[in-house]
Amino acid sequence: MSSDPDYIRPDLAETYARHAYTLDENREEAVAKRYARGFRMPRENIEQLVDQGTFKEYGALVVARQHQRQNDEELRKNTPADGLISGIGSVNGKDFAASQARTMVISYDYTVLAGTQGKRNHYKQDRMFELAHRFKLPLVFFTEGGGGRPGDDEIGPRVAFDTHTFTQFSQLSGWVPLVGVTNGRCFAGNTALLACCDVIIATEGSTVAMGGPAMVESGGLGVYTPEELGPMSFQVPNGVVDILVKDEESAVTAAKKYLSYFQGAVEEWEAHDQRQLRHIVPENRMRLYDMRDVIRTIADKDSVLEIREQFGVGIITAFIRVEGRPMGVIANNPHHISGAIDSDGADKGARFIKLCDAFDIPILSLMDTPGMMVGPDVESTALVRHCVRLFNAGANVTVPMFAVVVRKAYGLGVVGMVGASALVPMLTVAWPTAEFAGMAIEGSVKLGYRKELEAIENPDDRLKEYQRQVDDAYEEAKAVNASAGFGIDDVIDPADTRSWIAMGLANIPPTKPRKKKKYPYIDTW
């Protein structure tokens, strides 16, 4: 027996040799193919994601269950880890304590049998998902791959859906944050797991679909290339993908940033000059402005992460920080149908509200809306049902909401933005540019004074009376006048908005660790 602590015994040397099959430096052919496509190896993504030296891999020595097709040496060489890298490490440990930074990471490996789901990598996933549930570990999942694998050993009769993987993963929803990341091709079972995640981050070159080319062709539905089935050209604007990024490096960066909002407050932050808020909204009420400028200015510098930017564009959803504390933002976008709420916008906003509430993240609502969108076109999209999802979502949250009326606060649209009442939020304040009315003021005058206006025979006199009524209505609707009847907490200097929010955040009682879910699951839509 050697007394040298650095001496490597034969049994340990054999262990190192077996693990060497998984190392990228020993997989030159696989690495070359991957790089030829402009992609990274899965372990490179994991290395960027986790804090250095913290990742411990589970199941590295597993090989595919294809012993009838390949010998042991071939399996070790061709199917390392059975195409699934899984483990636990620390993410964002520089900013958060070890207990907050602990994270489970799972990645399919497309260089192993096209990232397909084999019997043993299902087995590994079942183990990891159970650990994530038991120890409440957030999960980052790289899902690139081709779905179910047809080539594993099968002996005797069987059914095809007796795995716990999908059940266990779905049961994690609402219990821990689930971050899905994809690049390249993602089909079938891989897509199903990706779609169960709270957020989907995808690279520009991704294709995401429930069925791959072989499945589509076998169903007699035509012949397509993988890239034709689920390109980002429609999977982003249709709302499937939440965050679109350039490449894998950017995807990992986005995953780390997204996860950080669920890890707690940060100590170091920097604020913008809040006086800028006084001038973002033009004095001329007919002129447009960019609501994203409002969000960026209120938020700590470099703390904004927008979700589903190209879907439901009438409502903006984003995570931000204020004085280091994470918040969710829902905001009307006046550049799209003047900020009116349509079906897609309502779905987007309601789902985001529930996501924030499930993980105890306060919500900031920035309002400028003429109401729910109206007319036969939007009604044909089932607006009646969709729009009130905002009501039900907001009215039932337990996290505090903070409401700021930036400009228009009209009709049922603004009701939907504040949990169905201005009294639901912890604070509801307005800027001097705010207006309060039951509907568009010009329309309300035409309806309310139709008989009086029709009684005026001279067209010029009729127009003057109409304009006088409109001007009077706008004067009554101004925030400083409307607030005399209460219903909002104050009309404030826009530069004070952040200090109001900070006051509210400072007065939230500490959140106790949860022993069960607040929501059964996070709605995937």
The pLDDT-based confidence of 511 (bands split at 50, 70, 90) is: confident
The amino acid that residue 94 corresponds to is K
Q: What is the pLDDT of residue 1?
A: 60
Is 67 in the same domain as 208? yes
What pLDDT, on the 0 to 100 scale, is given for residue 2? 65
Q: Which two tokens stand for residue 222?
A: 């035509």
Domain that holds residue 311: 274-434+478-506
Instruction: List the beta bridge partners of residue 84.
Output: 108
CA distance 248 to 466: 59
Domain end marker among 260, 283, 310: 260
518 occurs within a structural domain: no
Q: Is residue 524 part of a domain?
A: no
Same-domain check for residues 300 and 372: yes
Residue type, 318: A
Mean pLDDT across 100-115: 96
Q: What is the C-alpha to C-alpha distance for residues 326 and 511, in angstroms, rounded to an integer?
A: 13
- 64 CB contacts (<8 Å, ≥6 apart)? 70, 75, 78, 79, 82, 83, 112, 113, 118, 119, 120, 149, 152
CA 516 – CA 132 distance, rounded (Å): 14
- The single-letter code of the amino acid at 391 is F
d(CA 151, CA 149): 6
The verdict on 178 and 294 lying in the same domain is: no
Decide: helix, strand or coil at residue 444: helix
Q: Tell whether 298 and 408 lie within a shared domain.
A: yes
- Given a contact cutoff of 8 angstroms between Cβ atoms, the answer to whether 497 and 322 are in contact is no
> Is residue 517 domain-resident?
no
Residue 371 and residue 400 in one domain: yes
- Average model confidence (pLDDT) across the chain: 93
In a domain, 109, yes or no: yes
β-strand pairing of 102-108 with 139-142 = parallel
Query: Distance between CA atoms of 316 and 332, rounded to whole angstroms?
Result: 6
Residue with tokens 């309601």: 350
Mind giving me the DSSP string for 140-207? Answer: EEE--B-SB-S-S---S---S---SHHHHHHHHTTTS-EEEEE-SEEEHHHHHHHHTSSEEEEETT-E
Higher-scoring residue by pLDDT: 162, 249: 249
**Angle made by CA atoms 195, 200, 202, in degrees to the nearest 5:** 120
**One domain, residues 165 and 309:** no
Residue 165 and residue 56: Cα distance in Å, rounded?
21
Model confidence over 178-227: pLDDT tens digits? 999 999 999 999 999 999 999 999 999 999 999 988 888 888 889 998 89
Total domains in the chain come to: 3
Q: Which residues have a Cβ under 8 Å from the Cβ of 300 and sit 6 or more positions away?
A: 269, 270, 271, 320, 321, 322, 323, 324
Strand locations in 199-314 (E): 199-203, 207-209, 243-245, 305-307
The predicted model gives 146-169 an average pLDDT of: 83
Q: How far apart are CA 42 and CA 40, in angstroms?
A: 6
Torsions phi, psi for 321 (to 5 deg): -130, 145
**Calpha distance 409→491 (Å, rounded):** 13
- Residues 424, 524, 184, CA angle at the centre, nearest 5°? 135
Q: Are the C-beta atoms of residues 42 and 107 closer than 8 Å to each other?
A: yes
Instruction: Report the CATH number that the domain containing residue 311 is assigned in CATH.
Output: 3.90.226.10
How many alpha carbons lie under 13 Å from residue 357 in its C-beta half-sphere? 24
CA 432 vs CA 196, 293, 424: distances in Å: 43, 17, 22
The residue among 194, 229, 260 that closes a domain is: 260
132 and 184 part of one domain:
yes
Q: What is the pLDDT of residues 114-139, one digit of tens each?
A: 999 999 999 999 999 999 999 999 99
Nearest to 439 by CA among 410, 466, 414, 417: 410
Dist. CA 525–CA 516, nearest whole Å? 23
Q: 15 and 128 share a domain?
A: yes
pLDDT exceeds 80 at position 158: no
Domain assignment present for 520: no
Structure tokens at 139: 């999960």
Q: Is residue 450 part of a domain?
A: yes
- At 362 the three-state DSSP class reads coil
Distance CA 419, CA 403 (A): 10
Q: Do residues 470 and 489 both lie within one domain?
A: no
Residue 116, pLDDT score: 94
> 420 in a domain, yes or no?
yes
**319 and 248 housed in the same domain:** no
For residue 2, being part of any structural domain is answered with no
Within 10 angstroms of residue 316's Cβ, the number of other Cβ atoms is 27
For residues 408 and 454, state if they share a domain. no
Q: Looking at residues 433-457, what average pLDDT do you find?
A: 81
236 in the same domain as 102: yes
Q: What is the DSSP letter of 58?
A: E
Q: Flag whether pLDDT at 10 surpasses 80.
A: yes
Strands 363-369 and 325-332: parallel
Non-local CB neighbours of 200 within 8 Å, separated by 6+ positions? 180, 182, 194, 208, 240, 241, 242, 243
Share above pLDDT 70 across residues of the chain, in percent, rounded to a whole number: 99
